Amino acid sequence: MISKQVKNHRKYPFLFALVCLFFSITAQAQQADANKETARQLLEMAEEINRSTAVKTQTRDMFVQVVDFDPDNQRALYMAGKLYLETVQKERAVKYLKHLYELNPKYRFDIPFMIGEAYQYAMDFDNALLYYNKYKSYYESHVNYRGQDLVPMDLVNRKIFECENGKKFMVNPSHWTIVNLGSNINSDSYDFAPVFNEDETLLIFTSRRQQDNMNENVDKDNFYFEDVFYSRKVDGQWEPAKNIGAGINTRFHDSNLALSADGHTLFLYRDDNGGDIYLSNYDEETDSWSMPEPVNGRVNSSYSENSISISPDGKALFFSSDRPGGLGKLDIYVATKDDKGVWSRVRNLGEEINTPYDDDSPFIDYDGKTLYFSSKGRDGMGGFDIFKTVYDSAAGVWGEPQNLGYPINTPDNDIYFVSTADGKRGYYSSVREDGLGYTDIYMVRVPEEYEKEEQLLAKKALEEAENAKAPEVLVAGVEEENVVAVIAPVRVAIEVLDAADKANMQAKVVLRSTESGMKWMAERQEDGRYVMEVKPSEGDRFTLSVEASGYVFKNMKIKLPEATITEQNIERTVALQRIAKGQKGVLRNVYFNTSSAKLEESSYDELSKLERMLAENPSMTVEFSGHTDAVGSAKNNKKLSLRRAEAVVSFLEQKGIDPTRMTAKGYGEERPLATNDDEKEGRELNRRVEFEITKQ
């Protein structure tokens, strides 16, 4: 009967439409039932893995898959969000926990708090404060509740304090640029605890990578064991890292802590006796390290000693420990030698440095009086923040520790900071969006123009103190007859719109200097615009990036005028397209060496945005197309363009994106965007990688 009616659809158009609708609904229902069954099976597997192992990242990804098949599965939404908060890419927990809260606000008592945490990790402090205060109100209206999912109010207030600090630091970012050390050093796993010799030619660090690991098996969390690796700098470049070898490394966890200025004494952490500090000496003749031995004296205890730093004169050891008598769980101590060369005098650094929270990772600078350390207390943004304090030898006290601020510090753990002998660079471990793995090693430095400005300001302040007379005009930048001209920042205001309905929308807006690498994260104003203030120099080039969940991100070049003594305002509007099949984008900040398909480190930031978009939309598939200019033969250009597209796919695969969701094609010089007769306005634009969404 149905087949006959279908054949006569022209005679009975209304009936034919109903039949088509019936089949469509039936197919959708069958697909929905199949998705529900798939989600049920995946959920059972995820729960079993969660009960029996410590493999959090893989378990998290399974719960994410459950949500992909069954978007309203409350258990999967909760576990996906919870495990994101316990692993990396913590900000992605917002998507799952917020949807759960919308479905069932009473699923757990602490869901608003967890959403606040996720927003805090995303550095969306306004929304974080909104949900922390929602939790606070709910807590105050249920004063008799005593469930295990109750978050104590002192922790909530601490989180609110951290968000307020974060807002303050982001409005006034410190003048640091942060550079990922790249694939010669970092891996797709954990890389941390960098230490250097004085001339910065030897780097030693800890890694949980698979390559060259002393143990072919993984630990219970499914990551390889910690091993110590090293790299040497040759012609200004770090060579590919190598395992430091047996003796230092065993088949289980081994980690470095500090390196003497001459590079000949290496301090190590071993799990023995609750966690002790060992040392090993380097023999130049045999090019080998001695068998590690415990540090002598009273440094080690039956408790944990986690980190150490030795003063330039070799007379003081700064270390952290959770031994009894401290102010918090982990405190920082200093040990000095007695007449026999034994570390016998140990002293807690006291309230000047330590807090009721964890204080760890001390590094005494080459001047012997500046101490860097990481703390979960003080005016932090969340997790460990890096602080700096200077010892006043006349008064015999440490100065008030200063938070190094954003962008060095984030709401996640920022730790293991070490400075170079000239004081112009630092290195540390952090979890950042442009990372290659779970924790990466970064170099930080002050751009030259800001270094000069700070020197001028310091000089001027000294002159004012000596003369006890203020100049007629106070500034930074130009000095003439005791008058320094004030440079006014350029105010950049960005309005973000939905391209379809032109409605104002929330987004993450970041400005980046292509020369220095400095970043400014915009703050949303009451009128919905995103505002930041910068001081561009002549010739500075900038990239503006705008992201929002459910939309194709945009990275674009933006021209800003040189900062002068006159205030200047720049306004721009950015329209974002909703993610849909057929949407295209150009990866404008993905760079390759000339005639090479190896990605430069400056590409990681943009590729991480792409990875985030793919991760948040697990059903999306993408084609990457490589393009070249017309220099060289067409055949070679086509091969090169394909290799560059494949390099993007490979990067994303290492970050955890399923390779079956991505294809790579090379078009060589076939599809130019501009003329090949000009380098700046033509060939440079033609050398690119594009992406197109082929399925949503």
Q: What are 544-565's pLDDT values in tens digits?
A: 999 998 899 998 889 999 999 8
CA atoms within 13 A on the CB side of 334: 17
Secondary structure string (H, E, C) spanning 288-338: EECCCEECCCCCCCCCCEEEEEECCCCCEEEEEECCCCCCCCCEEEEEEEC
- Long-range (24+ apart) CB contacts under 8 A made by 218-226 are 219/253, 220/53, 220/54, 221/54, 221/55, 221/56, 222/53, 222/54, 222/55, 222/57, 222/58, 223/189, 223/190, 224/189, 225/251, 225/252, 225/253, 225/254, 226/190, 226/253, 226/254, 226/255
CA distance 516 to 539: 12
Same domain, 154 and 291: no
Decide if pLDDT at 666 tops 50.
yes
Q: What is the DSSP letter of 437?
A: S
Of all residues in the chain, what percent carry a pLDDT higher than 70? 88
Same domain, 572 and 593: no
Same domain, 291 and 373: yes
Q: What are 632-644's pLDDT values in tens digits?
A: 888 998 998 999 9
In a domain, 150, yes or no: yes
pLDDT at 208: 97
Decide if pLDDT at 358 tops 90.
yes
pLDDT at 225: 96
Same domain, 155 and 190: no
409-432 exposure pattern, b = at least 16 Cβ within 10 A, e = fewer: bbbbbbbbbbbbbeeebbbbbbbb
Give the type of residue at 342: V
Q: What are 408-440's pLDDT values in tens digits?
A: 999 999 999 999 998 889 999 998 888 888 999
pLDDT at 682: 60
Calculate the average pLDDT of the chain. 87
CA atoms within 13 A on the CB side of 435: 21
Q: What are 65-89's pLDDT values in tens digits?
A: 999 999 999 999 999 999 999 998 9
- Whose CA is closest to 109, among 83, 86, 63, 78? 78
Decide if pLDDT at 210 tops 90.
yes
Q: What is the DSSP letter of 460?
A: H
Same domain, 390 and 469: no
Strand partners, 624: 664, 691
* 63: CB partners within 8 A, 6+ apart: 43, 46, 76, 79, 80, 83
Pairing verdict, β 568-576 and 490-498: parallel
Residue 538 sits in a domain whose CATH number is 2.60.40.10
Decide if pLDDT at 3 tops 50.
no
CA distance 373 to 419: 11
Comparing 5-9, 50-54, 457-461, which segment has the lowest mean pLDDT?
5-9
Comparing 135-139, 242-246, 476-480, which segment has the lowest mean pLDDT?
476-480
Cα–chain center distance at 371: 24
Winning range, highest mean pLDDT, from 26-30, 370-374, 655-659: 370-374
Q: What are 396-412's pLDDT values in tens digits?
A: 999 999 999 999 999 99
90 compared with 35, residue with greater pLDDT: 90
**What domain count does the chain have?**
5
In a domain, 9, yes or no: no
Q: Are 292 and 248 in contact (CB under 8 A)?
A: yes
In a domain, 632, yes or no: yes
Q: Are 208 and 190 in contact (CB under 8 A)?
A: yes
Same domain, 400 and 506: no
pLDDT at 31: 65
Q: What are 298-313's pLDDT values in tens digits?
A: 999 999 999 999 999 8
Give the end of a domain, one of 521, 552, 577. Answer: 577
Residue 656 sits in a domain whose CATH number is 3.30.1330.60
Q: Are 304 and 325 in contact (CB under 8 A)?
A: no
- Whose CA is closest to 357, among 407, 391, 320, 396? 320
Same domain, 491 and 480: no
Give the end of a domain, one of 136, 161, 186. Answer: 161
Strand partners, 337: 343
pLDDT at 586: 87
pLDDT at 458: 53
- Cβ count within 10 A of residue 287: 7
Whose structure tokens read 């060992």?
A: 278
Q: How far is CA 279 from CA 33, 248, 257, 258, 292, in A?
A: 61, 9, 9, 9, 5
pLDDT at 258: 95
Same domain, 71 and 127: yes
CA distance 265 to 197: 10
- Average pLDDT (618-642) is 89
Same domain, 616 and 479: no
Same domain, 644 and 687: yes
pLDDT at 591: 76
Composition of the chain by helix, strand, coil, percent to 5? 30, 30, 40
Same domain, 144 and 184: no
In a domain, 167, yes or no: no
Question: Where does the pLDDT of residue 219 fall: very low under 50, low under 70, confident under 90, or very high at 90 and above?
Answer: very high
CA distance 678 to 672: 12
Decide if pLDDT at 680 tops 90.
no
In a domain, 23, yes or no: no
Q: What are 175-194's pLDDT values in tens digits?
A: 888 989 999 999 999 999 99
Q: Are 418 and 154 in contact (CB under 8 A)?
A: no
Question: Where does the pLDDT of residue 165 fall: very low under 50, low under 70, confident under 90, or very high at 90 and above?
Answer: very high
Query: Phi/psi of residue 33, each to 5°?
Result: -60, -40
Cα–chain center distance at 648: 19
- Average pLDDT (258-282) is 94
In a domain, 184, yes or no: yes
Q: Are 682 and 676 in contact (CB under 8 A)?
A: yes
415's enclosing H/E stretch is strand 414-419
Same domain, 360 and 458: no
CA distance 237 to 228: 20
Residue 290 sits in a domain whose CATH number is 2.120.10.30
In a domain, 31, yes or no: no
603 compared with 23, residue with greater pLDDT: 603
Q: Are 486 and 474 in contact (CB under 8 A)?
A: yes
Q: What are 140-150's pLDDT values in tens digits?
A: 999 899 999 99
- Average pLDDT (215-232) is 94
Question: Where does the pLDDT of residue 679 fall: very low under 50, low under 70, confident under 90, or very high at 90 and above?
Answer: low
Q: Which domain holds residue 98?
A: 42-161
In this prediction the pTM is 0.84
Give the type of residue at 617: N
In a domain, 514, yes or no: yes
Residue 154 sits in a domain whose CATH number is 1.25.40.10
Question: Where does the pLDDT of residue 20 fall: very low under 50, low under 70, confident under 90, or very high at 90 and above?
Answer: very low
CA atoms within 13 A on the CB side of 378: 23
- Average pLDDT (35-51) is 88
Give the type of residue at 313: D
Give the end of a domain, one of 112, 135, 161. Answer: 161
Q: Are 301 and 315 in contact (CB under 8 A)?
A: no
